[in-house]
Amino acid sequence: MSIKQDNRHLYLQVIDKIKQDIAEGIYKEKEKLPSEFELAKQLGVSRATLREALRILEEENAIIRRHGVGTFVNARPLFTSGIEQLNSVTSMIKQAGMKPGTIFLSSSTQQPSEEDIRKFNCDENEDMVVLERVRTANDEPVVYCLDKILQSNLPESFSHHDGSIFEKLEIQSSINITYAVAHIEPIGYHEKISPILECDPETALLVLKQMHYDEMDRPILYSVNYFKADKFSFHVLRKRV
């Protein structure tokens, strides 16, 4: 199992070898790797070289190291999307060949806060609907969703158990979401949301905060979505200017 040395730095060869073993199923998702001593011996490298390779693999999310427990193969994301593509959660799940579902948690109608008035450019007396839902893929919870929308924009026939709000707005209210301004940030374990999504303590969350606009540049829907980081992967196309 030792690596075949070439002219590259040894730790780069170790990275490629471990990635290859993961791709070929020698090490499966969430499986524990051998100890550093055993793995270094198998690969024929020093423990210092192995540790540098493992450090980079962890940065790339290929593995996860749990202090005092060991090193494990990270689960590959089921869903991947370009952050520049405005897809509903329902669409992302369908594109992965899985069945989308919704678990309704709560709904309330309230007066907009000062921040809501600024974001929606609305009157303080307008009613705002706040929806709290969990989106599922093949009945597994994968995204926690908190959505805010002015009641005047929400279809009268809208059901809290409906899937894509995008689709309901387009079909029943003739409101077409054309773009969104998004902010994304990773967070660790969340006391409320991580248990709802059935996350392991070490599973991180990706928080996507988006204000969605229609073709007239009107703010329509504000969403805060918490994605399980081991299920979702976002990327962005960057061009040199």
Q: DSSP per residue over 120-184, as a string?
A: HT--TTS-EEEEEEEEEETTEEEEEEEEEEEGGGS-TT--TT-S-HHHHHHHHH---EEEEEEEE
Q: Grade residue 83 by pLDDT with cuts at 50, 70 and 90.
A: low
Q: Grade residue 45 by pLDDT with cuts at 50, 70 and 90.
A: very high
Which tens digit of pLDDT belongs to each residue from 219-240?
A: 999 999 999 887 777 766 666 6
Q: Grade residue 1 by pLDDT with cuts at 50, 70 and 90.
A: low
Residue length, the chain?
Answer: 241
Note whether 236 and 82 are within 8 A (CB).
yes
pLDDT exceeds cutoff 90 at 145 = yes
Q: Which domains does the chain have, with CATH numbers?
A: 10-73 (1.10.10.10), 79-235 (3.40.1410.10)
- Please state the rounded mean pLDDT for residues 137-164: 84
Long-range contacts of 13-20 (CB under 8 A, 24+ apart): 14/43, 14/45, 14/49, 14/50, 14/53, 15/53, 15/56, 15/57, 17/43, 18/53, 18/57, 18/62, 18/63, 19/57, 19/62
